[in-house]
Structures are given as C-alpha cells and as structure tokens.
Structure 1
C-alpha cells in the first residue's frame, strides 16, 4: 500500500512540473543530451553555410583533428569527476612525446622501448600530481598550474627546443597517423585507439567498483571516506591513470602531426577542459559520462573546423570557444539545482 502511495505521489509531482523543469530533470539524469543536441545543430548550421562541410573527406579530417583532444579529455574527465582539474595535460603529453621521439630518433633506441619509457614517464607525472594533491593537500588547480610550467620547461630543456620530423622516427611511432579509407572517408589508427580508450574507460567507470568510487569521491569525498571508500588512494589512482592516458595521447599526436615538437598543441589544456565541460561533466564533480566528453570534443573541433572552412579569423574562433564554455557551465549550474 505504501509503495502505491509513494508511486502516486511521484507521478503527481511529475505532472506538476513545467516543461522546462522536465527538461531539467532529463538533463540531470542524462547530461550528454544537451551537447548532443548542440552538436547536431552545429552540423546542420555548418552544412547550410558550407555544403562541403559534410563531405566524407571533410568528416575524415574533422575526426582526425578531434583524436588528440578526445584522448586528453578522457584523462581530464577522470580528474574533473573527482571535483579536481588538471592544467598540465598538454605539458605531460608533450613531455612524453619528446622523450619518446628523442630516444627513438634515427634508431637510437628500439621504438617499443622508447614508447614504453615515454608513456611510463607520463604516468609518473600524473602520479606526482596526485601525490601533491593527496599527501600535501594542495588544491588541484595550484598543483597542476605549477607542474604545467615544470613539465613544459623539462620538455624544452630535454629536446633543446628542436622538432623531430617523421623521417627520423621509426614506423611504430608514426603508425597511428596511418590508416585506412572507406570510400573518400579516411580513418587513422589513432582514431581507433581513441575509440578503444573510450570503450575501456567507459566500461570501467560504469561497470566496476573503481568507477563507482570515482563518482563517490567527486560527489562528496568526506562522505565517501566515512562509507569506507579510500578517497585519497582513489584520487592518487585517478591522477596516475590520467597521466597514462596523456602518454598515449602523445603517441597519437606524433602520428597526427607527423613530427614531435615541443611547441605542439598550445591550446590542449583549454580544449580538453572545454570538451569535458561542454560534454556535461560537472566541474563540481560526481556527475558526467564519457560519451558526453566525446561529444564535447567533437563540438570543440566542429566549431573550429567549421569556422575555419568559412574563413573566420582565429580570434573569432577563440571567442566562440569561450562562449561555449561559459554557456556550458551556466547550464551545468542550472541542472544541479534540479529538485527531486
């Protein structure tokens, strides 16, 4: 009897909601819906403005350009889900890339060993971020702002500020830039690796205890700790795994750029955070899905690519990205105010 009363009360409350409140509830449960709608609108708008936008060749280029940001955004999502933020993503990626490329340059070291060292270094860099956050209790923003400069300087000093072109690197390091064509549509192996990253980490977050702990820590770290969740160890693990993913992103970047350069991806930090926030992951932690992050990464690159095809100046593209971030955070704040 009580269950029937509760169900009836819930149905009555639902009927009392305005259409806007119903949308708010839907977005609270499925935060990736709003970025998906925005992506569809962007595709339609750019197709109307420039019919070449939706050609197979253009879509292939768009997905290739999205690969690096999308890979970095996986690690950034893990960090933001715990109510943190990582400003060192691009620096860790570039450091890993330069160490890998320098070690393997002109056959100096076996490619597989150089790649392992580069990715391991990125993992250690992520671990260091986590150590400073969990053991010294420094704010993630301050920690990663500091390590951004540290890792950037180390990459420049180690490489001497010089780029290494693809013809000086073994095929393994350039492999993710190769691919296959489906008609005029071309996919690279880097895109395939990014898809695998999303599938694996999406499964981990949604189907494992580790993933549930990540959400619990982001929602309320102290409550999670009192419930038996090892909050500090979870945070350390999140930053470490994020570092590993940034190292893989460095490998993808070598293939995408056809070179290893210490000045690569200068906007990687902003782009990764933008992708995560636009994708519906809350900056306050505890809410979001990787599918939203992937959609967010596509939105970021779609706007950049579409505006570029329209001949819009870089300054206006940066302005568009900034507006997207502000709107996304405002929507997130609105969604968080949903009433049960």
Structure 2
C-alpha cells in the first residue's frame, strides 16, 4: 500500500483555482494594456457621433477637435507624470494661465521685452510653480491634493494681480507668441502648429518614461515609495523633477493657449483642470500611481474633445456637456478600481 497521500483532491483544487471567467480575463487584458479601453471608447464615440451628425467627420470639424485637444492634451501630459507618482495637481490650469499672462504682458507692453525673452521668462515662471508644488510635497510632506489646492488659489490671485484682470489681445502680441495658432494643411485637414507641438511633447515623454532610468524611477515611486527608497531611488529628487518637468510642459500649454485664442486672458481655460484629470484617468493611468502609459492620456484627451464637440453638434447645453465629462471621470475611476482588484 502506497505511503504517498492521494493527489486527486489537490489536482481538483488547482484546476478550480486556475479557472478564469470572461470578466477576469478581460480584467487581465486591460491590466496589461491600459490604453486598450480608451481606444475602444474613442472608436465607439466617433462612430456614434458620426452617425448622429454628418458634420462631425467633416475635415473642418476634425481640425477644430484637434485644436481643442492640443491644449487639454498638453496639460493632461503634465498631469500624467504627476499622477504616475501617486500624486495629483489641482493647480495645472491656474499655473498655465499665470504663465500665459506673464508671456503676453512682458511682450505686449509699450517697449516690452523681445518675444524670445518673454517666452523664456514664462517658462521659468511655470517651472517655478512646479518647483513650489514639489517643495510643498517633498519638504513639508503635504499631501499633493492639499498642496496644489492651496497653490491653485495662489496662482489665480497672482494672475489677477499681475494682469489687473485685463486681457491682452492678439494684435498687441508679437508673431512668435501667436505662432502656435498658425495652421498648415495635412491630408486635406488644417492642423495648427500647436497640435504638432503637442504630439512632439508626447513623443518626448513616451521616450523618457519608457526608455530612461528617470522614467523607471517615476513608475517605481508611484508604485511603492518605500520600496523605491529601499532600492536606492532618491524619491524626493524624483518627485521634484516630476513637478518641475510638469511646469515646463504647462509653459508649452500656455504658449499653445495664446496661439489658439489669439489672446491671453486671466479667465481662460475654465474647465482645463477637470478635462485634464478626465483625460488621464480615461487614458488608463491609475490614480493610485505606478501604472499607465502616456499615449493612453492622448487617447483620453481625444475622447474628451470628441465628447464635447459631438454633444455640442447635437445641440446639448454646455452644462450637460460638463455633466457628461463628470460621468466619464466616475466611470474611468470605477474601471481602474475594478482592474486593480486583480492584483
């Protein structure tokens, strides 16, 4: 008589544990390919809005969507690298507007600075806003939500004080500041220089996040700060670099905003914070940090642009468009929470 215990029960248990359901398989796929779900949503949205209104797929309308997405997408790119570290920045919109007003005011005043110098100072100001957020998070150890909620109000106040509440119109601005709004024709579709700059930002970030040590450190810090610190990563330095890099990207967004509107105003881009966060979470980047890809954010920004444009063509009131974007945020976070349960 064999002394080995029967293994039939163990094999049955293993078979039961290994059994997967369609839902769990779908969750595993979405976990491996975070950009898949926003790609599916984007295709479905384009098909639906194209069927509802024949003007939706017209070249002129597609060009308009691209121009709108250029600003949201660039701000969302800055938001992405912060959320990848398990943070969030509520001040991105205010920092962008502040930088745009600095650029415009310095270049437009009588006897103003040369456009290149005004643009450079605007970049310095935007990076300084990021550095301030980074210092509050790394030195004072404030939660990013609280720190950036405070700086949001600071940047709004500084913008109003600096500008006196006045808008600088395009006629008073040098050509360099409005250059990002110039259009070129590609395949029958008019695309602005700003759209091409946004794409360049995404290409650069995709390389930095996917092919450099800095990118690996960003993901590691977002996944587990304590483990990253034990692995020898200087967590505070990584966080500071992320917030400063985000500030530089916001300076680019400020430049694009001036070109897009052919003006610089203290009350521009009122919904940019909501839209940028929406683009990030719809794009598959986890609000808990450590997971997501930059191209998913671009898909998320396109979804936001498509929804706002499609609903506008359908005659839906602006308030309901914002409501729809809010629903998208809740749905995206819910899906992210469901996917994370696989871990």
TM-score range, shorter chain: over 0.9
Residue number among 133, 139, 142 corresponding to 1:135 in the alignment: 139
- Specify the alignment match of 1:4 in structure 2: none
Q: Which residue of 2 aligns with 1:326?
A: 330
Q: Does 1:241 align with 2:207?
A: no
2:229 is matched with: 225
Question: 1:91: which partner in 2?
Answer: 94
- Say if 2:78 is the partner of 1:75: yes
CA distance in 2, matches of 1:55, 1:20: 37
Kindly state the Cα deviation for residue 209 of structure 1 after the two structures are TM-superposed. Answer: 0.5
- After superposition, the Cα gap between the structure-2 partners of 1:293 and 1:183, relative to the gap in structure 1 and judged at 3 Å, is closer
SS in 1 for 2:238: helix
TM-score, normalization: structure 2?
0.94
* 1:102 to 2:100 alignment: no
Residue 19 (structure 1) aligns with: 22
- The partner residue of 1:174 within 162, 175, 178 is 178
Distance 1:94 1:316 in 2: 25
CA distance in 2, matches of 1:26, 1:82: 23
1: distance between equivalents of 2:144 and 2:323?
26
Residue 14 to residue 238, structure 1, CA distance change in 2 (3 Å): farther
> Who is 1:60 aligned against?
63
Q: CA deviation at 1:14?
A: 10
Instruction: Tell me how far apart the structure 2 counterparts of residues 236 and 331 of structure 1 sit (CA, whole Å).
Output: 30
- Provide the rounded CA distance (Å) in 1 between the counterparts of 2:164 and 2:23: 56
Question: The residue matched to 2:269 in structure 1 has which SS?
Answer: coil
| CA-CA distance at 1:95 after TM superposition | 0.5
Distance in 1 (CA, whole Å) between partners of 2:339 and 2:165 is: 45
Partner of 1:203: 207
Partner SS, residue 56 of structure 2: helix
Deviation at 1:13, TM superposition (A): 8.9
Q: Deviations over 1:109-165 (max 9, x none)?
A: 100000000011100110110001000100100000000000111011101100011
| Aligned counterpart for 1:276 among listed residues 255, 280, 293 | 280
Residue number among 39, 44, 65 corresponding to 2:42 in the alignment: 39
Superposition TM-score, scaled by structure 1 size: 0.95
Q: Secondary structure at the match of 2:27?
A: helix
1:303 to 304, 307, 315: 307
Please, what is the CA RMSD of the aligned residues? Answer: 1.4
Per-residue deviation at 1:184?
A: 4.0
Distance 1:47 1:266 in 2: 27
Q: 2-side partners of 1:237 and 1:13: how far apart?
A: 47
Whether contact under 8 Å (1:35, 1:280) holds in the other structure is yes
Give the superposition deviation at 1:16.
Answer: 2.5
User: Which structure is larger by alpha-carbon Rg, 1 or 2?
Assistant: 2
Q: Which moved more, 1:17-26 or 1:274-283?
A: 17-26
Q: How far is 1:182 from its partner?
A: 3.0
DSSP-derived class of the 2:166 partner: coil
Secondary structure at the counterpart of residue 185 of structure 2? strand
**SS of residue in 2 equivalent to 1:51:** coil
Q: Give the Cα separation in 2 of the matches to 1:99 and 1:57.
A: 32
Q: What corresponds to 1:338 in structure 2?
A: 342
- Name segments (4+ residues, structure 1) moved above 6 Å: 12-15
Q: Is the 8 A contact 1:215 1:287 kept in 2?
A: yes
Match of 1:73, SS state, is: helix
Deviation per CA, 1:174-227, whole angstroms, max 9, x where unpaired? 000002113541000000100000000110000000000000000000110011
C-alpha distance in structure 2 between counterparts of 1:264 and 1:124, whole Å: 20
Distance 1:155 1:92 in 2: 9
Residues 72 and 246, structure 1, Cα contact 8 Å, conserved in 2: yes
- What is residue 160 of structure 1 aligned with on the other side? 164
Aligned residues: 329
